[in-house]
Amino acid sequence: MSKRVRTAVFPVAGLGTRFLPATKAMPKEMLTVVDRPLIQYAVDEAREAGIEHFVFVTGRNKGVIEDHFDRQFELEATLESRGKTKALEELQKDLPSAGRTSFTRQQEPLGLGHAVWCARDIVGDQPFALLLPDMIFQAKPGVLKQMMDAYEERAGNIVGVEECAWEDVSSYGVVVRGDGPDEGFVINGMVEKPKREEAPSNLFISGRYILQPEIFALLAEQTRGAGGEIQLTDAMQSLMGQQPFTGVKYRGKVYDCGSKLGFLTANVVFALDRPDIRPGFIEELRKLDLEDKL
C-alpha cells in the first residue's frame, strides 16, 4: 500500500525578473489574478487534494509570503468592528491551520532541483507533492486532486501533463508516452525543449508533480545542467530507472503566469469565471471597442 501524500512543496525563491519593475519589492508569487495571489491558488489546489503540510522554499525579500499565511489581528479586528463579516470569513478560510506551514531558505539561485532539495529535511522520508505557483489552472476537480486519484491506484511518481500545439513543443519539457489511458499512462522518458521534428509527444509537463523521497538523494549528487542549474528533470530521469512514473493528462487548462501574456490571459479568464465580476467586466470590455484594436 502506498504512503499517503500529506506534504506539498512550493518553490517561491525565484527573482521574477520577467515582471520587473513590479517584482523589485514584491514577490512574483504575490501578483494577483483578479483578487487572489498566485501562491494562494496553488495552496487552495493543494488543500482540495488533501494536503496537510505546506512547505515554502523562499529567498530574500519573500517575507510577505509568510505574512500572507499568518493572521493579521489588526486587520481582522477592523473588519469585525465595521461589520465586514464576509471579508473576514474569506481571510480566515484561506489560512492553513496553526503549525501546518514551514518555511526554508534557498540561499543561492541554483534552479528548481536545488529548491526541491532544500526541503529535504522538512519532507523527510515521505512522498510529497510539488506545485510551481507560476502555473495556475482552471480545472474541476483541481489538477493535484486528479493526480492524487491516479496515485492511489498506481503509487510511484506522478506527473501532470497537458497537450500543446506541436509548433510550441520546443518551449517545454515533454514526456515520452507509454501505455495507458489519459488519467494514468506510463511515462518512458522526458525530453527538455525538443525540436519539433524530434519531439516524442506534445504532452508538456505543467508544474504539478507527486514525487517519492528518493529524489532527494539524486538531487544531492546531481551535477549542474542547463543554465548552470540543478535540474529537477535530470534527477527525475535518473529516478525513472528505479521507480515507475505515471503521466496524468488532466481535465483542465493551465495558464503560465510566469509570462506576461499568460498572466494577462489568466486575469481575463478568471474574471469571466467569477459570477460577481463577469457581467460588469463584459460591459467594460464592450466599451473598449476591442475590434478596432485587434
- Note the Cα 214 to chain centre separation in Å: 21
User: Which set of grid coordinates corresponds to residue 88?
Assistant: 473576514
Per residue in 52-103, pLDDT (tens digit) is: 999 999 988 888 999 888 888 888 788 888 888 887 787 778 778 788 999 9
Q: What are the residues whose beta carbons fall under 8 Å from the beta carbon of 284, sequence distance 6 or more? A: none
Q: Which CATH number fits domain 14-284: 3.40.30.10, 3.40.50.300, 3.40.50.800, 3.90.550.10?
A: 3.90.550.10
42/38 Cα distance (integer angstroms): 7
Residue spans per domain, the chain: 14-284
Residue bearing cell 494577462: 264
281/90 Cα distance (integer angstroms): 22
- How much is the pLDDT for 226? 60
Per residue in 6-48, pLDDT (tens digit) is: 999 999 988 888 888 988 888 999 999 999 999 999 999 999 9
Kindly report which listed range (46-60, 61-75, 154-168, 216-230) carries the lowest average pLDDT score. 216-230
For every residue of 55-73, DSSP letters joined together read EEEE-TT-HHHHHHTS--H
Distances (CA, A) of 44 to 96, 104, 149: 10, 20, 17
253/106 Cα distance (integer angstroms): 30
As a whole number, the mean pLDDT across the chain is 90
User: Which set of grid coordinates corresponds to residue 136?
Assistant: 495556475
Q: Fill in the DSSP letter of residue 172.
A: S
User: Which set of grid coordinates corresponds to residue 210?
Assistant: 507527486
pLDDT of 217 higher than 60: yes
Pairing of strands 128-131, 7-11: parallel
